[in-house]
Structure 1
Amino acid sequence: MIGLIKNEFMKLLLRKKVLISSIVLGVLCILLCLLISVAYKFTTKEAQIESQQYIIEVFEEQLEEAETEEEKNLAQANLDEAKASLEIIKNTPSEDDPNWRINVEETINILKEQLNGLPNDSGEKEEIRKNLLEYQELLNKDIRPMSEMSPKGINMLGYLIAFLGSLFTAIIVIIISSDTVSSECTPPTLKMLLTRPVKRGKVLASKFITAFATSCIVIIGIEIIASVIMGLIFGFGDPAYPMVAGTDYKITTVNAMIGKEAIAVFNSSYLSTIFSVLLKSLLLQVLYIMAATSFFLMISTLVKSSSASIAISIVLLVSINILKVIPYVKPVLPFLFMTYGNTTTVITGEIKISTLSSLPSPIFVVLIFLAWTIIPYIISHLNFTKKDILV
């Protein structure tokens, strides 16, 4: 068995498309990191204050140049709103603010007032509570607030999981595993392999293990390497940084025109850390890769042409992603493993918003991944054993 796995690894390493796709994926991750680091410069507190001050100057000029009373009133209203926005920005907690503790305390007081003024069945109340939990934990642990666009290593890992999970993870798995069997059917290599004194189940298992392990190494390896590089440049961030997870959502029907919407259930979220959330996300990503490998391996056993196997896999992937936006398909989404590419949303609970379903809890998603691993693999096994006769 070990010899078969080594042999499969060698064959994968010699495939140019695996190397090229890994390089392309790495370049895409680098571009994303550069984009986030550039965008971060425009979202710092100083940059926002400078931008808002410029807007105020523009409105002041408009007020001076206004001729009619109506124009003056409009310019004055815009100026007052811009000044109010400037005060909000100044009082917003940020990591580059020396007075961040004072601003966090003030924000907590504002959030408490907002929380008390809302009914329990309001989805907004749980969103406010989530912010309140995070800010209180920042004070308790004396951790500076971190911007959502922060290029720090641990924050970038979350972005990379979401970015790759949207589509690219499945594409890499397709490239690695979808022609694992079919590529050996075009030349008569499989026939020669099956005539050896090796059990057919071991041959298939070696191909599955190799494709699965290679996909994990490429995808998760690139995510971690890119995050480490960003960490060395911008800092790694605090792994104990508070992050709220497990939010439950109640799915309700608004009306015939709007349809359904997800409303956060009050008191359903719990406080965790960014390290814990990302670690669970990576573990779920491993299961996602395993399910994807099994599914695309099944296609490889059903189709004899290597190019046809890859084409069918990509068409299925694209079709499912397009069908996701169709309301009538929404009820099916929770049962498809491709729905859960961004595994972080499973941990935070936000996946229930996109699927408009209360089903996708972490345990439910794990069961879906296992089902999509076991059932396609059984089909692959049954079909592969027949090749002893059909090839």
Structure 2
Amino acid sequence: MLKLIQNEWMKLWHKKATWIMAILLVVAIIGLSGLTKLSERFTDTTWIEEMEADVVQMDEQLASPDLTDDERAEIEAEKQGLVETIVMNEEWSQPGSRERTIVDAYGTMSLVTLFTIIASAGILASEFSQGTIKMLLSRPVKRWKILTSKYLTILLFGLLLTVLVYVFTIISAFIFFPSAEGNSIIWSGSDLALSAIWGKSAYMMFLSLINVFMISTFAFMVGSVFRSTSLAVGLSIFLFFSGTMIVLFLERFEIAKYIFFAHDLTQYELGFKMLDSNTMGFSVVVVSVYAILFLAISYLTFNKRDVTA
């Protein structure tokens, strides 16, 4: 099996597209960090001061004894919303720090997902389109081992890109941003101790990596079933971008909780669940079932397919 994986790994990196994707990923990470640092010079917070002035004006209105209960309740609700908006925007208008940049490293994982989809879709489908599948299957190796080696190669590729994201995000954070002041930083509306950033950032990267593996498994399945790289890439990317909208459109129906895209595991750490009824445990079960289903379809299709014609 190890020899098969090594062979698939060499074939994957023999393609220029693989190197281009890896280089683009590194350039994107460093470039985004540089642009973020540059944009801080042009940050205008006067509009926050205007909102604070509106809050003061609302306090003056609330001090008036002539207000009815309904008017007072309306002004208080408006003031509360404005205060929350000010707090949120003050947080995001703060100068960037290397700690917050490291914690937010998972935000670049969408690029890893896209690149891994491309690799997953073509690793088997290209064998059929180029006609090399016959030569591959002529070797005295069982089909399930060949398919497993290709799938494990994709997982390793996704893992490698994830490591690149994390490493170069840390490098960029130390190049472009100063250390956070004080003993904590603000992350998703809560205080996060500086000593906890490494554990938190690694955990978020791990959860994001699971999502990468899942959508890549789907692309791998489509490529093995339909033997079309373009179909596998197009369908996977379409669902990747539209999955959330599909879930929100169907959220009033019971079936929404069983849709794969409702179970992005990072949502439980971010505090913004797509469906209130979902839990981390339930999502892990659903994701596991989908993974088994995708792989079962891939193996059954590949083992039974006639490639002699």
TM-score in terms of structure 2 length: 0.73
Which residue among 285, 288, 293 is the counterpart of 1:375? 293
> For 2:162, which of 207, 216, 219 is the aligned residue?
219
- Counterpart in the other structure of 1:365: 283
1:111-161 superposed Cα distances (whole Å, 9 cap, x missing partner): xxxxxxxxxxxxx9xxx9xx9xxxxxxxxxxxxx98675433331234341
How far 1:174 sits from its partner (Å)? 1.2
Give the conservation status (yes or no) of the 8 Å contact 1:337–1:369: yes
Report deviation, 1:28: 3.0
* Matching of residue 15 in structure 1 with residue 39 in structure 2: no
Kindly state the Cα deviation for residue 383 of structure 1 after the two structures are TM-superposed: 0.8
1:216–1:289: 8 Å Cα contact kept in structure 2? Answer: no
CA gap 1:348/1:42 in 2 versus in 1, 3 angstroms: same
Q: Secondary structure at the match of 2:305?
A: helix
Q: Distance in 2 between matches of 1:194 and 1:239?
A: 61
- Structure number with larger C-alpha Rg: 1
Q: Is residue 2:143 matched to residue 1:209? A: no
Q: Is the 8 A contact 1:151 1:230 kept in 2?
A: no
Q: Do the aligned partners of residues 378 and 149 (structure 1) sit closer, same or farther apart at CA in structure 2, a change above 3 Å counting?
A: farther
8 A contact 1:8–1:206 mirrored in 2: yes
Separation (CA, whole Å) in 1 of partners of 2:94 and 2:283: 28
| Distance (whole Å) between structure 2 residues aligned to residue 349 and residue 163 of structure 1 | 19
Is it true that 1:81 corresponds to 2:3 in the alignment?
A: no
Counterpart-to-counterpart distance in 2, 1:192 and 1:31: 43
Q: Shift of residue 13 of structure 1?
A: 0.6
Specify the SS of the correspondent of 1:301.
helix
Match of 1:307 among 223, 230, 233: 230
Question: Secondary structure in 2 aligned to 1:180?
Answer: helix
Alpha-carbon distance between aligned partners in 1 of 2:163 and 2:40, rounded to the nearest angstrom: 24
Post-superposition CA distance 1:333-354 (Å, at most 9, x none): 543444455x54321322x1xx
Amino acid at match of 1:207: K
Deviations 1:19-47 (A, max 9, x none): 2223333333333323322343456xxx7
* Cα distance in 2 between the residues matched to 1:210 and 1:370: 20
1:200, distance to aligned residue in structure 2 (A): 1.1
Aligned structure 1 segments of 4 or more residues deviating by more than 4 angstroms: 82-85, 145-150, 236-240, 242-245, 269-272, 327-334, 388-391
- Residue 204 of structure 1 deviates from its aligned partner by 0.8
Distance of aligned partners of 1:345 and 1:150 in 2 relative to their CA distance in 1, 3 Å threshold: farther
2:202 equivalent to 1:279? yes
Question: Are residues 150 and 374 of structure 1, via their aligned partners in 2, closer, same or farther at CA, if it must alter by over 3 Å?
Answer: farther
Q: Does 1:187 align with 2:106?
A: no
Q: Which string of whole-angstrom CA distances, capped at 9 and with x for unpartnered residues, describes residues 310-333 of structure 1? A: 233333334435434535577555
Distance 2:181 2:290 in 1: 36
The residue number in structure 2 matching 1:37 is 37
Q: TM-score, normalised by structure 1?
A: 0.60
Change (3 A) 1:159 1:387: same
Q: 1:152 aligns with which of 94, 97, 104?
A: 97
- The corresponding residue for 1:292 is 215
Query: What 5-or-longer segments of structure 1 have no aligned partner?
Result: 57-77, 86-123, 132-144, 248-268
CA distance in structure 2 between the aligned counterparts of 1:336 and 1:18, rounded to whole angstroms: 31
Report how far residue 390 of structure 1 moved: 5.8
Cα separation, partners in 2 of 1:369 and 1:270, compared to 1, 3 Å: farther
Query: Partners in 1 of 2:253 and 2:169 — Cα distance?
Result: 34
Kept in 1: contact 2:13–2:19 (CA 8 A): yes
Q: 1:33 to 1:339 in 2, by over 3 A?
A: farther
Structure 2 CA distance for aligned equivalents of residues 19 and 240 of structure 1: 40
| Match runs of 1:164-183 below 5 Å | 164-165=109-110, 168-183=111-126
Instruction: Summarize the Cα distance change of 1:357–1:383 in structure 2 as closer, same or farther, 3 Å threshold.
Output: same
Q: Where does structure 2 lack aligned partners over 5 or more consecutive residues?
A: 58-79
Q: Residue 154 of structure 1 contacts residue 237 of structure 1 at CA under 8 Å; is this kept in 2?
A: yes
Structure with greater helix share of residues? 2
The percent of aligned pairs where both chains have the same amino acid is: 24
Match of 2:139 in 1: 196
